[in-house]
Amino acid sequence: ATTGASSSLSFSPSPSPLSSAPFLSPLFFLPPAVQDLESPEVSEFRQAADAVPEVPFGLSTSPSACSQYNTTVGTVVLFRTIDGDRRDLPNTDGEEIQAETMIRFVRINELRLVTEYNPVTAVGLMQSSIQLHLLLITDKKSSEHPEHMHRFREAAELFRRKILFVLVDCNVKGNERVMSFFKLKKSQLPALAIFHSEDEEQDVLLLDEVSVERVQEFCNVFLQ
């Protein structure tokens, strides 16, 4: 079973992580003999869960679960509902996987309804099976930002498993390279930029305001 808090981590004979996690669900497969929730393996997993409270974590000791998900004991499996992908962190050296390793594994591979762009999340974005990315390039310090994000998230719901929605904050050092790639200046923001990673086809739309309708129309035209 997956849970939202590490204090209630539990074993389940038939885990169904995708049914309860809106974005991600790491599931750690332990040997059936391990039943102690205070064991070193579980302790490291619990630390990782505490460090990433917004992500549900679950444990399983079930051999049938390993078979169902085609994995081995001691493996951390991360399920993503945004693109339908999964990522595995196998225990290759026979020692306990450290909490820091699991946290980094989740942070690199996490994708959300709207994923904020940074050097870490860029890895998961570029490795996704979804090759269309829609970027909202904006100033997070703007008073209009909360409303813009609310509408951007609404639009993202319409394109699940079709387009990855990404937030790019123009104030973050390094993001000027993203703006330069799309030939945008800070004075032109907010703007939408859609990008197809396979052939680098792109389009840009300058915005007076962010609305669900404008985002939807921009995406549909590009998809067509």
Q: What pLDDT score does 92 carry?
A: 73
Identify the CATH class of 115-223. Answer: alpha beta
pLDDT digits (tens, 9 = 90+) for 135-193: 999 999 999 999 999 999 999 999 999 999 999 999 998 899 999 999 999 999 999 99
Residues 80 and 22 sit within 8 Å (Cβ to Cβ): no
CATH of domain 28-109: 3.40.30.10
- Residue 209: CB atoms within 10 A of its CB come to 10
Residues 83 and 130 sit within 8 Å (Cβ to Cβ): yes
Query: Quick check: do 28-109 and 115-223 share a fold?
Result: yes
| Sheet hosting strand 2-3, strand order edge to edge | 2-3, 57-60, 24-29, 76-80, 86-89
- The rounded percent of the chain whose pLDDT value lies above 90 is 50
Local structure of residue 122 (DSSP, 8 states): H
**Total residues found in the chain within this entry:** 224
Buried b (16+ CB within 10 A) or exposed e, 131-141: ebbbbbbbeee
Domains of the chain, residue spans:
28-109, 115-223
pLDDT category, 6, cuts 50, 70, 90? very low
Q: What pLDDT score does 37 carry?
A: 65
Q: What pLDDT score does 33 carry?
A: 61
Q: Rounded CA gap, 141 and 199, in Å?
A: 33
pLDDT digits (tens, 9 = 90+) for 86-132: 999 987 776 778 999 999 999 988 888 999 999 888 988 988 999 99
Range of weakest confidence among 37-51, 132-146, 154-168, 207-221: 37-51
Which of 19, 17, 61, 26 is closest to 47 using CA atoms? Answer: 26
Q: Rounded CA gap, 1 and 90, in Å?
A: 20
- What is the average pLDDT across 58-82? 87
pLDDT category, 74, cuts 50, 70, 90? confident
Sign (positive or negative) of CA dihedral 168, 118, 22, 51? negative
Q: What pLDDT score does 135 carry?
A: 97
Q: Rounded CA gap, 166 and 164, in Å?
A: 6
Q: Rounded CA gap, 224 and 212, in Å?
A: 18
- What is the average pLDDT across 2-7? 38
Q: What pLDDT score does 9 carry?
A: 47
- Give Cα separations from 216 to 102, 147, 151, 158, 190 (angstroms): 36, 16, 11, 8, 16
